[in-house]
Amino acid sequence: MKTMTCRQLGGPCELGHRGATADEVIQAQDGHLKEAVKAGDETHREARQEMKFRWLHPKQSLGWYHDTKAAFAALPED
């Protein structure tokens, strides 16, 4: 298991997301952003919009995805 923070994934806070794969951590970040914005946290709104764009336009977001996977791979195990 490895941990990446909301900030490492493009968000505004230090909440950690743990997962066995980068995809698990990315999905956890997506859920976190959805919940934060739903709860009225405006600091997460921009990151949520960017994440929504990535899901809707995956080919255009491959750079972010590959960078995130590489950053995850470089992390030590928790």
Domains in the chain: boundaries: 2-74
For residue 27, give the 3-state DSSP assignment.
helix
In this structure, what are the phi and psi dihedrals at residue 7, rounded to the nearest 5 degrees? Answer: -65, -40
Q: Kind and range of the H or E element at 25?
A: helix 22-38
Look at residue 6 in the predicted model and tell me its pLDDT: 98
Span of 32-36, 46-50, 52-56 with lowest mean pLDDT:
52-56
**pTM of the complete model:** 0.91
In this structure, what are the phi and psi dihedrals at residue 31, rounded to the nearest 5 degrees? Answer: -65, -40
User: Residues 6 or more apart from 71 whose CB is under 8 A from it?
Assistant: 4, 8
For residue 51, give the 3-state DSSP assignment.
helix
